[in-house]
């Protein structure tokens, strides 16, 4: 995925956060960051140097609601 220069700067300066019960070691987690234009950055805590996924806020909110409802439980 090619990221334009403006988005690359925004991702580097983003305020990343992860779930509070993810543990101190930070393994097996994702981090999310709000971005301009109602977008959300998503990255793996174990590989933060990789290019994050960027999705529309509406897509992320739908995913969170589905997760809360158990839609993705195995």
DSSP state of 67: H
The answer, yes or no, to whether residue 21 has pLDDT greater than 90, is no
Largest CA distance in the chain: 39
Predicted TM-score (pTM) of the model is 0.82
Residue 52 near residue 65 (C-beta atoms within 8 A): no
- pLDDT tens profile 45-66: 889 899 999 999 999 999 999 9
| Cβ(34)–Cβ(6) below 8 Å | no
Mean pLDDT of 10-33: 82
Cα separation values, 12 from 35, 49, 70, 74, Å: 11, 10, 32, 34
């Amino acid at each position: 995925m090619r990221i334009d220069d403006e988005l690359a700067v925004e991702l580097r300066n983003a305020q990343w956060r992860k779930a509070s019960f993810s543990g101190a070691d930070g393994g097996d987690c994702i981090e999310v960051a709000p971005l301009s234009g109602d977008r959300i950055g998503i990255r793996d805590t174990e590989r933060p140097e990789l290019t994050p996924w960027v999705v529309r806020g509406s897509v992320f909110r739908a995913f969170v609601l589905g997760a809360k409802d158990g839609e993705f439980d195995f």
